[in-house]
């Protein structure tokens, strides 16, 4: 299962990043859990300086910007490669 978290107190910006993550995950064959985190105390635990931020399997992949869908697809493939290789 893939865990994707979108860290952003502003709902509008959060939706942009969330949609990129959902679109990028459509081609995968694994279960994807997408979670929005709006609480600043929880966001601070990820040690990001700017939001929005995208976290995949507890690793911060982007912060301070909305990542391009191609970037998100590449990150998802990086995470999935070890699982599908063996």
Domain 2-74 fold? Glutaredoxin (3.40.30)
Q: Which two tokens stand for residue 13?
A: 């910006």
53-78 tens-digit pLDDT: 999 999 999 999 999 999 999 999 89
pLDDT of residue 83: 53
Using the structure block, give the residue that is written with the tokens 């391009």.
Answer: 68
Cα distances (angstroms) measured from residue 79 to each of 28, 44, 74: 11, 24, 9
6-62 tens-digit pLDDT: 999 988 888 989 998 999 988 788 888 999 999 999 999 999 999 999 999 999 999
Task: Spell out the domain ranges in the chain.
Answer: 2-74
pTM comes to 0.88
């Amino acid at each position: 299962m893939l865990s994707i978290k979108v860290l952003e107190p502003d709902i509008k910006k959060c939706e942009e990043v969330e949609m990129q993550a959902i679109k990028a995950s459509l081609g995968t064959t694994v279960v994807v859990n997408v979670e929005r985190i709006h609480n600043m105390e929880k966001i601070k635990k990820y040690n990001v300086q700017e939001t929005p931020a995208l976290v995949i399997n507890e690793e911060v992949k982007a912060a301070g910007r909305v990542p391009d869908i191609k970037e998100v697809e590449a990150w998802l493939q990086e995470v999935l490669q070890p699982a599908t290789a063996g």
